[in-house]
Amino acid sequence: MRKLNINSDVGEGVLCEEKLMSYIRSCSVACGGHFGDSETMKKSVGFAIKNRVLIGAHPSYPDRLNFGRRSMSINSDDLKKSLLTQIFSLERVINSFGLTKLDHIKAHGALYNECIVNFDIATLYVEVVKSFVGVKIYAPYGSVVAEVAKQNGVSIDYEVFLDRNYEDDHTLVSRFKPNSMLIDPDEMISRYEMVNTDLKIKTINNQLIDTIGDTFCMHSDTEDSHLHLDNFYKNYFSNE
């Protein structure tokens, strides 16, 4: 199958993960903050290597209770230590498979959203990423974290979500709100094509905001995510 530039967040206890790997170019593996341990990481890394999928880390607030989806009050030093511990744990796993370094690092959940708008959190996050030489980040175009990364010489792949709706400030609509998800394959295709041709995303309020999409995410924990991607591919290539 010809793969489009699609990524997925994995290692989060989803049973369809191996099937999902055949549709994606890269994955971000949960590494213990919101979910995951050495065994789940080994399983995801094994699937990725088998399918020639690039591997990145998916660190978060150390908050398993809320799956990393709520903002967390935590000391900056403690947060930095937690993020480093999470990423190093995945790095040890990929080293055990003979890989020398991660492809990218992508924040999860509330941490991802806060990096979009919060300078202090974004700066701390980029400092963590810089500890891993030559590793890029996945982040939204126009975000605070993207600007901080550029200022610090950290490479960026701009990310757009296929299965999530957006607020006007480029953050994702909270999963605790209605209409947070986008699962219709034709709507996904419209988003993919609009980003690639017009460099725009339509928000939940029907506003058009500027963006760039180097990589497009389908979450593994979106229900039937592999089937959504299968339909997306079938519809997309049938229109070519």
Report how far residue 13's alpha carbon sits from residue 108's, in angstroms, rounded to the nearest whole number: 15
The pLDDT, as a whole number, for residue 78 is 98
The pLDDT, as a whole number, for residue 185 is 86
The pLDDT, as a whole number, for residue 170 is 83
Closest Cα to residue 123, out of 147, 104, 158, 105? 147
Block mean pLDDT (10 aa), the chain, length 240 = 91 90 97 97 98 98 95 96 98 97 97 95 98 97 96 98 91 86 89 96 95 94 85 85
Average pLDDT along the chain: 94
Whether 87 and 59 have beta carbons less than 8 Å apart is answered as yes
The pLDDT, as a whole number, for residue 84 is 98
Fold classified for 6-163+213-219: TIM Barrel (3.20.20)
Burial of 85 (0-12, 13-18, 19+ CB in 10 A): middle
**pLDDT (tens digit, 9 = 90+) per residue, 145-198?**
999 999 999 999 999 999 999 999 888 898 888 889 988 888 999 999 999 999
The pLDDT, as a whole number, for residue 1 is 67
Q: Give pTM, 2 decimals.
A: 0.95
Give residue 204's identity as a one-letter amino acid code.
I
Q: Which residues pair with 216 in a beta bridge?
A: 6, 160
The pLDDT, as a whole number, for residue 145 is 97
Domain ranges of the chain: 6-163+213-219
The pLDDT, as a whole number, for residue 217 is 96
